[in-house]
Amino acid sequence: MTTVRRRRSAAALAASAVLGIAIASAAAPTAFAAPSPKPTPSAVMPSGLYGAGDPTYDGVWRQSVALLAQDTVGVKPAAKAVDWLTGQQCASGGFLSYRADTAKPCDAKLPPDSNASAVAVQALAALGGQDATVRKTVGWLKSVQNADGGWGYNPGGAGDANSTSLVIGALAAAGEKPDAVKSKGGKTPYDALLTFAKPCGGKDGGAFVYQQKTPGIVADSTAAGVLGAHGKGLVVTAGEKDAKGTVCEKATTAEGAAHNGAVYLAAALAKTGHLDTAPMPGATDPTPKPDFGNTADAVVALSAQGLGDQAKKPLEWLRQNAAAWAKESGPAAYAQLIFAAHASGADPKSFGGMDLVAALNATGPAPESQKPAAAEKKDSSESDSDSDSDSGIGVWWIAGVFFVASVGAGFLISGRKKNQRL
């Protein structure tokens, strides 16, 4: 919230893994057991798709965040890239993680998921001209809302902070009022989100957990939760300075929970400037590794909350260290960094020696057009009068996360969504 968007960051999991890389660790939804889709050979990769890796588990996610990031920096993507995404929609209005053959109806044994659907809405709503597709997907999302007001990855699955936050962002992007979207029991998405917010004090105090019984990687769900509580999607600008500072307080509203979540992230980043991944089960090296994707999502969340000062250190850490990760991980990683730069007022074309925009563009079909640099500079100065040109910090998931249920295997992307070679 990979992220993501967003949180929140795009991560992926091998189909045989039970835990996600740099995302929430969680058991698969128990509402059904869906078979794993077959991987797509690289030789038959669609020409309009971003990234060169197998899209089976993240095709819609990475395409959506790539298009959304391009739109954020004034790049008009290639028509065939947009067509590829709209062509992935199922007749129900929802999106799978990937459809290899769009000439065939979506497989009833592989139901659409809320994460892919929500991030596709955010991208297509931002690009414009796709109202019918957006409305149909929003209708599907509303139809699978849980009784508690939230969403799980799959219809009928237990709700989680990441999925609920991603859908809130999609509703807002489509012009809906999330607090007016109520379940049959009268619950709103914010009611659900509050159930994932931990009280101050104790372990992970103030954070948003992935699920009550499955906390997961809390930093990921917290970054997503902060954005969701603000009614925001993966792309945000910096909020007004948080007058409460970095003190966790008792929260009874989504806004209060967002503040506490950001306070949790600020504390987690204060020492090193980055978050860490949890070792995978059975890993020979138990040493935690830097988590680039969740760190980027945290920068977005902190900026959205108005804790720009607390975002400076992790943003600088990303500038100095994220190049190799982004190059290896592909379009979703570049998109996450662009979201972080945008939220904090940094220049995505000059980010620690990287031109994130050019790098993202190079992972897919050549864009149709790009806003002149002078226009981008003007937009930045108008939207961020308090930006610091030296640090790149000015005045976010994811997801988001995605979770493909299969027999014996969970598949979650967050953020948010991070660290697979896309």
Tokens 């057009």 sit at which residue? 369
| Residues belonging to the chain | 422
Average pLDDT over residues 185-206: 96
The model's pTM is 0.82
| Cβ atoms 409, 26 nearer than 8 A | no
Confidence band of 376 (pLDDT split at 50, 70, 90) = very low
Residues 161-176: tens digit of each pLDDT: 999 999 999 999 999 9
pLDDT at 352 over 80: yes
Q: Which of 26-35, 218-227, 326-335 has the lowest mean pLDDT?
A: 26-35
Residues 235-261: tens digit of each pLDDT: 999 999 999 999 999 999 999 999 999
Cis ω before 416 (30° cut-off from 0):
yes
Among 339, 351, 315, CA closest to 418: 339
Average pLDDT over residues 43-59: 88
- In this prediction, residue 40 carries a pLDDT of 56
> Could you give the CA distance from residue 236 to residue 227 in angstroms, rounded to a whole number?
9
Among 100, 67, 89, 83, CA closest to 137: 89
* Amino acid in position 270: A
pLDDT at 398 over 60: no
Average pLDDT over residues 326-344: 98
Cβ-based neighbours of 419, under 8 Å, separated by 6 or more: 11, 12, 21, 22, 277, 292, 293, 325, 329, 333
Residues 259-301: tens digit of each pLDDT: 999 999 999 999 999 999 877 777 788 888 999 999 999 999 9
- In this prediction, residue 188 carries a pLDDT of 98
- In this prediction, residue 415 carries a pLDDT of 40
> Could you give the CA distance from residue 334 to residue 207 in angstroms, rounded to a whole number?
26
How would you label 408-419 residue by residue, b for 16+ Cβ within 10 Å and e otherwise? Answer: eebbbbbbbbbb
